[in-house]
A and B are shown apart, each in its own frame.
Chain A
Amino acid sequence: MNKKHMDEIENQMKLANAGIPEKERDLFADARPVKVDPFNKYYEGFLNWARSRSLWMLAFGTGCGAIELRPLMTSRYDMSRYGIAPRPTPRQASVFIIGGYSSIKTIKRIVRSYEQMQGPKYVIALGSCTINGGMYYDSYNTINRLDYYIPVDVYIAGCMPRPEALIAGFNRLKEKIRAGECEGMNEYTEKFDWYKSNQKQIIKDWNMPDYNW
């Protein structure tokens, strides 16, 4: 392969980042996310075991369901005994809990935060609103199905689901992780264009890079 050809391939790998002004384009990375496969089956099994027992949750209350996270954190339900801990930054978190309905404004932030999490990363969608829009199913400003926009690992139905339901959801997530079924990170990369077009359909003021590294 000559150099020109290499450059071409590299350019194809680049994202257009058309949404951001010319001046700022140099300030954002324009690399396309790539699929990263597990290193080794057994090693991955070990890691999945550890991951399932050390779930770092992004402290981002996207919707009203976030209210249910408080009892979960505190003494009544104490999620820490399951190895679940809140993290204040998406860089370090591994679980993203979408707390119910997502307005268009919020979904933009959800996408950004999700993309900034370092995989493997998991999404728990909380409440009916994330499944079918719930009571906001015909709202002009709310999405109906979350997994059009980001891959979801576990849905917890209810309006609102109680902390007990949440714990059950977490346990389901742990099982899935240990079974190696939580590849949302790679799913997102593989169907990146599909997710992007879905996101861009509803987010009109797209003033961010196409992939928020």
Chain B
Amino acid sequence: MSLATQIFYAVISVTVATAYGLTLGGITRKIYARVHGRFGPPVWQPFLDIIQTSGRRVSVSHGNMFLLGPVFRLAGGLGTYLFIPVIYGSAVFSNFSMAGDLLLVMYFVFFGQLGMALGAGQGGHPYSPIGIARGLAQMSTFELPFALAVIAVAIQYNSLNITSIVAAQQGGFMNWTLFTNPLAVVAAMISLLGMNMHSPFSIVLAPQEIPIGPPIEMNSGFLSILQTNRGLFAAAKLVLFMNLFFGGATNLLEMVAKTFFIYMFSVFVGAAYPRFRPEQSFRFFLKWPTIAGILSIIYIAYLGGTS
């Protein structure tokens, strides 16, 4: 495959993922509205919002790092997505997954978060660091159960290569990690709640406490970049979870179906629960999902698991 083809495929892949991610965002808002007893915005509202924010004629910048923050963020989202093979067996959607394995994906997630944190930090607004401090602290805690789950998966399939993990889950839904290693999936799905930052783990944006936290100074084009990333990054995370725990996907439809349901899990939880205080959230992650993660490792590694 030539580099040009690869880049072309990547562009398609990214566009689809972004569009899909944004649509999911719209659906979320719709569902939230329905839970509230409202009609809710149209599903394509996120697209309109992006156009609106990109269309502002002026913007303010607090400095170079502020300017680069959103760029880092979207680069992080793009990179994360591009290092994941999205559809098993598809050339178009295999992205740049030959650059690295699962560990690369897990660490590339931080690329954007770190950059965004720096950009927001230069904004000089006190709410930004408060939000970031919460975000980083929460991230450190939900990464633990997620890492444990990933380790369990790596033990189970004896690989950190996402493609081979997906390959190992082919041939019937009973081969999915969901069924072969349910504890790991429990741990990972709970940490997904934290990653998606819906209630009860929405302590970073927390509109009523620290008006949207880190991106409080983000405006116009900067914000539109962040909004784009929200869509793309959400898709990337979902695809990763689908690959690791739900047997991956062999076509676009299966991908959409599976990721939709994975996403709906956090949406429903988010619509149903009020927000934790920061320390409650941290403690929660260090308690139940971590225990589940440890148990999954014990189950897989020491009790013989499914092998």
Contacts and interface: CB of A to CB of B under 8 A. Distances in A.
Direct contact of A and B (CB under 8 A): yes
A120 B51 contact: no
A50 B51 contact: yes
Contact of B60 (A36, A91, A94): A91
A74 B55 CA distance: 28
A47 B212 contact: no
Contact of A47 (B55, B59, B219): B55
Given A56-B52, A94-B52, A81 B59 contact: no
B58 A50 contact: no
A54 B59 contact: no
A92 B42 CA distance: 20
A17 to B, nearest CB: 17
A80 interface: yes
Interface stretch (B30-38, B71-79, B271-279): B30-38
Contact of B58 (A39, A54, A78, A118): A118
A88 B45 contact: no
Contacts of B217: 89, 91
B29 A88 contact: no
A63 interface: no
Contact of B218 (A46, A92, A120): A92
Nearest to B59: A118
Nearest to A116: B60
B142 to A, nearest CB: 25
B182 interface: no
B57 A119 contact: yes
Contacts of A36: 57-58
A185 B219 contact: no
A36 B56 CA distance: 10
A85 interface: yes
A38 interface: yes
Nearest to B29: A80
Contacts of B211: 59, 88-89
A118 B58 CA distance: 6
B51 A54 contact: yes
Contacts of B29: 80
Nearest to B207: A88
Given A50-B55, A54-B51, A120-B56, A92 B223 contact: yes
Interface in B50-67: 51-53, 55-60
B48 A53 contact: yes
Nearest to B52: A54
- Is chain A's binding surface mostly helix, strand, loop or mixed? loop
A162 interface: no
B216 interface: yes
B305 interface: no
Question: B interface, how many residues as a size bin?
Answer: 20 to 34
A53 B46 CA distance: 11
B101 to A, nearest CB: 38
B126 to A, nearest CB: 13
Interface string B13-51: 000000000000000010001001111111001001101
A50 B212 contact: no
Contacts of A83: 41-42, 45, 48
B220 interface: yes
A80 B220 contact: no
A159 to B, nearest CB: 28
B48 A78 contact: no
B49 A81 contact: no
Contacts of B48: 50, 53-54, 83
Given A50-B52, A92-B223, A81 B60 contact: no
A88 B213 CA distance: 10
B39 A81 contact: yes
A68 to B, nearest CB: 17
Given A51-B55, A91-B219, A120-B56, 11 more contacts: A46-B51, A50-B52, A59-B211, A75-B36, A78-B39, A89-B216, A91-B60, A92-B219, A94-B56, A118-B56, A118-B220
24 contacts: A47-B51, A47-B52, A50-B52, A50-B55, A51-B55, A54-B48, A74-B36, A75-B36, A78-B40, A80-B38, A81-B41, A83-B41, A83-B45, A83-B48, A85-B41, A85-B49, A88-B211, A91-B217, A91-B218, A92-B53, A92-B212, A92-B223, A118-B220, A120-B57
